[in-house]
Amino acid sequence: MSGKLGRLERPALQGVMVREVINFSSYWRSTTFSSTVDPTIYLLAFGFGFGSLVSEVGGFRYVEFVGTGTVATAVLFASVFPSMFGTFVKYQFQHTYDAILAAPVDTEELVTAEALWIACRAGVYGCSPLFVAIVFGLDPSLGMLAVPFVNFLAGYGWACFGITIAAFLKSIDNFGYVTSGVITPLFLVAGTFFPLEGLPEWAQIAAQANPLYHCVELVRHCVFGFEGLTDLAHVGALVVFALAAWRLAIFGMTRKLVN
């Protein structure tokens, strides 16, 4: 092994991801169930519950409005929860990261590989509400093919966000503050179940800082028609979120793992 080893090397990323993929083979059923059934239930409950009261929202049939909106919910659930809990368990209880960092893998590579893997999963799981919505009458469109990529980008950001939370909280009991105080409001004020136009102005402005909102908008535009610069801005917002969360996750995990 001559020459200096660099940063973010493929063999290191691959090694960490191979571990995840092999582990996934033993728990994919339960993960797939919770990651796809949760948002589907939201979709059906709101779609039929509200759908019977309001037939149209923002120019869409309500089922179509919610069906596209819950894609972002599915991405959020499939990325932020596995990363928060998974990271904490692997760090605190299984000491997996001690073993990985004793190998030629740096914290930066460890965090990146974990987030990439979760983002891949979220990219796929996030599409499940679309399939359900199609069954209930949403017309398939070519733009839908872009949805997994939007999901991947948003999922990467949320995965890094979850790793950051796990890196900074001292006890798994404190996760409730984050899920109730941060995730739930973000999840509700993102234009998933109702359009933001009905909210007070301050809430609309605040929603611009919610990555989930940008994901919801992008997915809708993929399905119903792209909107040029607006969508570019949404992509930009997700990229900024992903980059910031990524560096923060690396900072937090380095502080925790190397001392």
Partner 1 sequence: MPPTTESSAPAVRLRGVVKRYGSITAVGGLDLDVPEGTCVGLLGPNGAGKSTTMKMLTAQAIADEGEIEVLGYDLPGESKQARAECGVVPQLDNLDTTLTVEQNLVVFAHLYRVPRAQRREAVDRAIGIANLGDRRGSKVDELSGGMRRRMLIARALVHRPRLLLLDEPTVGLDPQVRQELWALIDGMRTEGTSILMSTHYIEEAERLADSVTIMSHGKAVASGRPSELITKHAGRDAVEVYGPPAKLAEAEASALEAGFRTRRTGTSVAVLGLNSANGDAPDGERRAANLEDVFVLLTGEEIS
Please list every residue from 25 through 44 that binds partner 1, using CB under 8 A: 26-27
113 binds partner 1 (CB under 8 A): no
> Closest Cα to residue 163, out of 110, 102, 122?
110
Listed ranges 13-21, 71-79, 159-167, 227-235: which one lies at the site for partner 1 (CB under 8 A): 13-21
Alpha carbons within 13 angstroms on the beta-carbon side of residue 33 total: 4
135 binds partner 1 (CB under 8 A): no
Angle between helices 62-88 and 147-168 (to 10 degrees): 40
170 binds partner 1 (CB under 8 A): no
Which run of H or of E encompasses 60?
Answer: strand 60-61
In the complex, least distance from residue 101 CB atom to partner 1, rounded to whole angstroms:
6
23 binds partner 1 (CB under 8 A): yes
Listed ranges 2-10, 58-66, 190-198, 209-217: which one lies at the site for partner 1 (CB under 8 A): 2-10
C-beta closer to partner 1: residue 52 or 259: 259
Please list every residue from 63 through 102 that binds partner 1, using CB under 8 A: 94-96, 98-102
Cα 238 to Cα 82, 139, 158, 188, distances in angstroms: 20, 26, 10, 18
> Closest Cα to residue 86, out of 97, 72, 71?
97
Local structure of 123: helix, strand or coil = helix
C-beta closer to partner 1: residue 22 or 135: 22
Do the Cβ atoms of 175 and 85 come closer than 8 Å?
yes
Please give the residue ranges that form the binding site for partner 1 (CB under 8 A).
Answer: 1-2, 4-5, 11-12, 14-16, 18-19, 22-23, 26-27, 94-96, 98-106, 257-259
